[in-house]
Amino acid sequence: MYFFHVGCDLKQELLLVKSKVYNEFIAKKECHLYDPENFREFCISAGATKLFDCILNSVTTSRHSSDRIDLNRKRVVSLIYNMCYCLSQVCNPFQTDYALCLRSCQMNQEGLETEHIMGHSCARRTVNSVECSLSETHYHSFKDFIKDAMKNKWLLVLIIDDYTSIHTKRRPQREKASEAKSMCTIVVKAFKDIPAITMDHANFLHDLNGIDLESCQAIITSASCMHDVSFSYASNMPDWLTQAFFNPELQRLRLNVHQYRENDNVITMRKMDDLHLADFVELQLKSKQDFDAAYDVALSAGLGDYMGKFVVIQPGDWPCQFYCRQIIYGCLKKLTRHNPDRGDFPTDSNMVVSHNHSSYSFPSTTASTVNCFTHNMTSQPSLLSIVPTIGPLHISLNSREHVVSSFHPFFKYLYQSIFPRSKFADKPKPWRISLILELAYGGWTLIRKTVIAKFFKFKDIEYGTLFNLLDNYIPLVLSIYSITF
């Protein structure tokens, strides 16, 4: 009788949770909850004070580790959602999200139907209708997001990156060979706790000349700078940075520099919260014209309204920085040439950024927004609101790869001498590049003083090249990202 009453109580609690799931997630369209602790509070607020803990205790034993218990907590959330779905197929927030995930992973209709029978996903017709609804409302939802960002003055970050899909048909169907599709992802992330930068204070963002070569040359050839250049980089490194190369904890972090996603700050920034997809089009991003087209897509999606008032930060890798800066400085030169005083903008067709790419099309209602010189309150072109930036991570990884590829025979001989059973690839993985650079510089520090004392007057070109590599290039590329730790 005791177990009978307990079972009845849990069934009543499950009915309460089912009603709250329908009211909150289906009727009111609130955000779905998947975090175990938040979902447990959700069940308690519905009146089910024992349901979550009872199921968790049933699938957990004292022998389980803390990681296994945390995993079971997530599974309990899935179990409760599935039981609610079995009671009423209208309560399907979890099943809908799971079905959309399966569809994005290219699962066929038969697989979706099997998951539906098991209670893990919703029916195929429901998935198709949800996809059509999302496609129709995406443009309007992104426009509403931009309006909210302008109203609340959120800082927006624009990310334009490429994605190569290798899941293509390999069976010969035409005379032309099959190729992998190169896709372009354009997303915007809002940082609601950081105030936006208005264009009123952004006149200093871009210089008409880009980089002042004459000033750089004057600084580099000055007496003080030439005195510093006469010494190697390793000679000028701070003591704390030199000692950091023999710190076991920092050694581990540097070797795993490519696994930057494990850093707590990076994990917070890489969350999908407040991230909105502007568009996903077929585009290679291999040239300036491709990034021009990507900007067209971003402006047509509604981002141009925000850029008329606020600055947009655009982080990216080296190709993104190189081509995007060309576009922005070209836009700035056109503006200055046609209007030195920055008055009214010219309206000739040469000022319009427009490209004929067959892989995408603009909505007819927003074709007029594809214009580099959108009028705004501060008389600034829209594209001048974009600030391309590149972080120390990309600089560090690119520079390390460049050094290893430039001196590949030396590093190949060194690596295979240390690890005779291993081969050093032509394009090694980032962790292997970091490892061989650390080993090379660590060994150099052990003999550096002796070698310099013996060969400080030696002018052989081979010795000079090797000394430049060991005392300049390697410590430089190793210390770029180490400073940020």
pLDDT, tens digit, 9 for 90 and up, residues 1-44: 444 445 567 888 999 999 999 999 988 888 888 999 999 999 99
pLDDT band at residue 54 under the 50/70/90 scheme: very high
pLDDT band at residue 352 under the 50/70/90 scheme: very low
pLDDT band at residue 358 under the 50/70/90 scheme: very low
How confident is the model at residue 20, as a pLDDT? 92
How confident is the model at residue 346, as a pLDDT? 39
Which residues on adjacent β-strands are paired with residue 157?
Answer: 189, 313
Across the chain, mean pLDDT equals: 79
- Mean pLDDT value of segment 404-424: 93
Q: Which of 152, 109, 139, 105 is nearest to 127 (CA)?
A: 109
Q: Three-state DSSP class for 278?
A: strand
pLDDT at 484 over 60: no
- Mean pLDDT value of segment 91-98: 90
pLDDT at 364 over 60: no
End-to-end CA distance of the chain: 62
CA dist., res. 483 & res. 292, Å (int): 35
Q: In what order do the strands lie in the sheet with 181-195?
A: 275-282, 181-195, 154-165, 312-315, 386-389
pLDDT at 68 over 90: yes
pLDDT band at residue 69 under the 50/70/90 scheme: very high
pLDDT at 189 over 80: yes
Of residues 138 and 361, the one with the higher pLDDT is 138
Q: What percent of the chain has pLDDT over 90?
A: 30
- Mean pLDDT value of segment 303-318: 89
- Mean pLDDT value of segment 235-242: 70
pLDDT band at residue 366 under the 50/70/90 scheme: very low
How confident is the model at residue 76, as a pLDDT? 94
pLDDT at 367 over 60: no
CA dist., res. 233 & res. 479, Å (int): 10
Find which of 150-159, 216-225, 433-442 is predicted with most confidence, using mean pLDDT.
Answer: 150-159
pLDDT at 362 over 80: no
How confident is the model at residue 166, as a pLDDT? 57
Contacts of 287 (CB under 8 A, 6+ apart): 323
For the chain, the domains span 2-133, 153-166+180-210+267-390, 393-482
pLDDT at 469 over 60: yes
SS3 content of the chain, % helix, strand, coil (to 5): 60, 10, 30
How confident is the model at residue 263, as a pLDDT? 54
pLDDT band at residue 373 under the 50/70/90 scheme: very low
CA dist., res. 463 & res. 101, Å (int): 57
pLDDT at 444 over 60: yes
Distance of CA 146 to the CA centre of its chain: 20
Distance of CA 306 to the CA centre of its chain: 21
Q: Three-state DSSP class for 257?
A: helix
- Mean pLDDT value of segment 124-142: 82
Residue found under tokens 């218990």: 69
For the ranges 98-102, 147-151, 390-394, the lowest mean pLDDT is seen at 390-394
Of residues 267 and 130, the one with the higher pLDDT is 130
pLDDT at 395 over 70: yes
Q: What percent of the chain has pLDDT over 70?
A: 77
For the ranges 84-88, 119-123, 338-342, 438-442, the lowest mean pLDDT is seen at 338-342
Find which of 119-133, 227-241, 266-280 is predicted with most confidence, using mean pLDDT.
Answer: 119-133
For the ranges 254-258, 296-300, 418-422, 447-451, the lowest mean pLDDT is seen at 254-258
pLDDT band at residue 236 under the 50/70/90 scheme: confident
- Mean pLDDT value of segment 41-53: 92
Find which of 70-79, 199-208, 372-381, 456-465 is predicted with most confidence, using mean pLDDT.
Answer: 70-79
pLDDT at 347 over 60: no
How confident is the model at residue 180, as a pLDDT? 63
- Report pTM: 0.63
- Mean pLDDT value of segment 210-224: 83
Q: Which of 328, 304, 312 is nearest to 376 (CA)?
A: 304
pLDDT band at residue 268 under the 50/70/90 scheme: low
- Mean pLDDT value of segment 307-333: 88
